[in-house]
Structures are given as structure tokens and as C-alpha cells.
A and B are shown apart, each in its own frame.
Chain A
């Protein structure tokens, strides 16, 4: 379909390993967001891209987390030296910024990547 695609859907890794999570947004959406969701909690903002640049990375918990979007489309969230506390569902969303007055800024979410750190 034409929705937001996230891979892998599930990732199990060991403490200390490096992990990459990929997000393929809806074509034409210039804004891309990463959120993290723990069980029973709402999505927690991590980082927002407008085009290729990170417009707001204030939600990244520490320097082990990094995200890129080199061509303004696909984004990769990178987590170094994973810890058990990083276990969560990582959600990606995209939206259409600007344009018609009827644009609601609606976020279109993918189904998430479930990360389990053992």
C-alpha cells in the first residue's frame, strides 16, 4: 500500500549491540517523526525531520540514539550499545507540511518496530 512502512517489524537483540530501524514515509511527505512507545504509555516524541534536516531532536534520550534522513525520504533510527531500557515499539510517522489551507497536519503512522533488548 501507500502507507508508512517500517522495518523490521520485530527485532530482538542483545544488550550492547547496535540496531538500525528503517522508516519509509508516504511519498511526498516532507515531515517525518520518530516516536517511542512503552507498554501502557502514549507515544513519546524522539525526533522530527523537515526534509533532510533534523528540525527538532530534543526527544532523543541520549547520544546513543541517532537518526538520519539523507535524501529527504527514508529515515533510519540508529541505536548504539543497546540497553534493556531501550525495549519498546518505535513508531515512525510522516505528514504533509504546508500547502492547502485544509491541511490538518495529520500524522500518518506506521505499524512500528518492536525492539526487544535481552
Chain B
């Protein structure tokens, strides 16, 4: 499984755009990039997933360069409620295999008023 590297922590003020970059130099051809969000005392929650270029949903955007060796999660205009740990995961979608998703330590985002 491709190993991921992301910053341990980040701070941001409310209303700013936050970009969290994840490195995955050994990503395989059939690997997708998935981000999860975790609040204290809760299980992780799926945010967004992509394979290449750009993906956008109602919560975030995911930017993936052509070489796919990194990806950037972009959270527009963060609020205090976005304070959480964000995990970047790389692996095949379940349709194609049984590899369990491996979580790293994640990035702890603190949003300040």
C-alpha cells in the first residue's frame, strides 16, 4: 500500500481557505485518494475521493496533479466546526480488491475565531 505523509497540524482563522497537502510517492495505478474527517469521540467520516485532476463536492475540493504523487484537500472558508483531524488514504476501491484502508496519523486542523 502506498504510504502517505501529511503535516501533523495546521492552524487557520475562520473564513480562510485551508489547503492540506498529502504526499504519496508510491501510489499505484489502481489506487484512489480518499480523505476522511474525524471529530473527537466520533468515527472518521468520508469527505471526498479522487483519482486524478480535480474533484469538488459540497464540502471540499481535491486537487491531484498529473503524476498523482501528491494531493491537496481544499476547505473553503473554514469555520470553527471544521476543527478536526483530516486523514489522507491511498488504496484501491473495493470493487477491485480486499486491501484494507490504512490510516496514518492525520493532520490536526485547528480553526481559530
Contacts and interface: CB of A to CB of B under 8 A. Distances in A.
26 contacts: A42-B85, A42-B87, A42-B103, A42-B105, A42-B106, A43-B44, A43-B103, A44-B103, A45-B101, A45-B102, A48-B98, A55-B98, A56-B98, A98-B94, A99-B95, A103-B93, A104-B32, A105-B34, A105-B94, A105-B95, A106-B46, A107-B44, A109-B45, A110-B43, A112-B41, A112-B42
B103 to A, nearest CB: 4
A67 B77 CA distance: 43
B106 A50 contact: no
Report whether over half of chain B's contact residues are helix, strand or loop; otherwise say mixed: loop
Interface of A: 4, 31, 33, 35, 40-45, 48, 50, 55-56, 59, 91, 93, 95-99, 101, 103-112
Interface string B72-100: 00000000000001010000011100111
A104 B45 CA distance: 13
A56 B98 CA distance: 8
A86 B84 CA distance: 25
B104 interface: yes
Nearest to A99: B95
**Most A CB within 10 A of own CB, among B45, B102, B103:** B103
**Most A CB within 10 A of own CB, among B101, B105, B106:** B101
Given A50-B98, A98-B94, A104 B34 contact: yes
A95 B61 CA distance: 23
B105 A41 contact: yes
Interface string B3-25: 00000000000000000000000
